[in-house]
Amino acid sequence: MIEIKILTDFTFAPGARDYDDGKDSGQEFYETLLKSKFDEALKQNVQLKIDLDGVEGYPSSFLSESFGLLGNEYGAEEVWKRLIIVSNEVALYIKKIKKYIHEKR
């Protein structure tokens, strides 16, 4: 299994949608970490576990951009079956991520 813990691997305070919105955006997360880890998981044919806990919070546009791009690039079903999302603090984020992965862009 490949793992990402956003608090330690990316930021304690996620930003908004894209680079124009400033640091630690969803676009930056996708391009600098999420895409490469997902590629790695695909290559090794393992799951990618993403731990969302411990940060200040997630603007919806952050989740929409990062996971929306992932779903768009690799196909919603492929992405959803390969991801394990851990969110013990805010369970709602899992439902939102599923929605953004499946949303057409």
19 binds another protein (CB under 8 A): no
CA distances from 98 to 8, 20, 65 (A): 23, 25, 12
Residue with smaller CB distance to another protein, 23 or 46:
23
Which is nearest to 34 in space by CA: 53, 10, 60? 10
d(CA 27, CA 21): 10
Interface of this chain with another protein, residues 22 to 41, rule: CB under 8 A: 22-23
Residue with smaller CB distance to another protein, 17 or 66:
17
Out of 1, 20, 45, 81, name the contact with another protein by CB under 8 A.
20
Residue 56 has, within 13 A of its CA and on its CB side, a CA count of 10
Residues near another protein (CB under 8 A) are: 7, 12-13, 15-17, 20-23, 54-62, 64, 89-90, 92
